[in-house]
Amino acid sequence: MLRVCIREVVRNVLAITAALLLASMLAAVGTGFGVDERELDRRLTEESHAAIRQTAQESRLSPGRMLQFASRAIHGDFGTSTSLGRPVAELLRERVAATLPPLAIAWLITVIVGVSAAAFAALRPRGTANLTLTVASTFLISIPCAVLALLFAWMRLPVVAALVAAAIPQAFRFAQGVLNGAGGNWNLLAARARGVGGPGLAIRHLLYPAAPELVGVATMTLTFLIGAAIPIEALSGVSGLGHLVWLGAIGRDIPVIATMTLLVSVATLSAGALAELSAAAIRTRRTA
């Protein structure tokens, strides 16, 4: 257990450092990358163009600039959005409430429904239900999240519904990968022979033994949901963090993109580490 903890801490410190480096690099290339669109604006004076070029020159990728972003980010100062003209930290505070509750609700629903469906399918390995669920989930995965966002916006359904619809097939497939083949496990066969059936069989003899891996499924679903929130929020018109990422990408707003890269990396890595530790704790408890 201690070894797992140490390994996870080291791995995450390295990963977060890498994310910080990537974010700093993005921030450092910032407005200096390529040609600034404002240089093409004829309404600006020659002095303004010169000032833009000067800023671009000053903001070229340099270790100093990267270090500056990293040290500021550690203290919660993520700079000012170039497209929205406001501090990034302020934008984050404003938008976090529009993203986190729907994301949390969607995550909960997705994991419960996806894992239940996968358990249902795993208990009927050769049944029509398994085949139907597999084929349906595969084709649902093939519908881009952005299209689902438009469809749900057209149907005037909440953003949570779009997130759930996009993530359930993924969660089902992740869980199916874990539970598939478990239908023939000796403990399940023995329980069936004893006459155990229904939800009891699924919970005690299928899901419980696979709990450590299912924690990983929940984390992967969360990671997927974070990515899916970008097109869904952007096209549903929800002013959340996903929408902010999209605005940042459209406006080449590097402070926003860099900050979100850093925060998303930290969030997903922390979730991953938590999942690893939980799985290790479950395994340790079982072997003890």
Q: Which of 74, 108, 129, 144 binds other proteins (CB under 8 A)?
A: 144
Residue 99 Cβ vs other proteins, minimum distance, rounded to whole Å: 13
- Does position 115 interact with other proteins (CB under 8 A)? The reply is no
Q: Strand ranges (DSSP E) for the chain?
A: none
The dihedral over CA atoms of 225, 229, 235, 241, expressed in degrees to the nearest 10, equals 170
Which residues contact residue 60 at a Cβ distance below 8 angstroms, ignoring those fewer than 6 apart? 28, 29, 32
- Does position 128 interact with other proteins (CB under 8 A)? The reply is no
The three-state secondary structure class of 17 is helix
- Does position 110 interact with other proteins (CB under 8 A)? The reply is no
Kindly write down the DSSP assignment for every residue of 144-167, as one continuous string. Answer: -HHHHHHHHHHTT--HHHHHHHHH
Contact, 80 vs 90, CB < 8 A? no
Of 49-57, 87-95, 97-105, 245-253, the window that binds other proteins (rule: CB under 8 A) is 245-253
Kindly write down the DSSP assignment for every residue of 58-105, as one continuous string. Answer: HTS--HHHHHHHHHHHHTT---B-TTT-SBHHHHHHHHHHHHHHHHHH
Of 50-58, 89-97, 104-112, 141-149, the window that binds other proteins (rule: CB under 8 A) is 141-149
| Of residues 153-172, those binding other proteins (CB under 8 A) | 154
Nearer to other proteins, 14 or 47 (CB): 14
Of 25-33, 53-61, 109-117, 200-208, the window that binds other proteins (rule: CB under 8 A) is 25-33
* 8-state DSSP, 205: I
Contact residues toward other proteins (CB under 8 A) are 11, 14-15, 18-19, 26, 29, 33-35, 37, 125, 134-135, 138-139, 141-147, 150-151, 154, 173, 177, 180-185, 223-224, 226-228, 230-231, 234-235, 245-246, 248-250, 252-254, 257, 260-261, 264-265, 268-269, 272
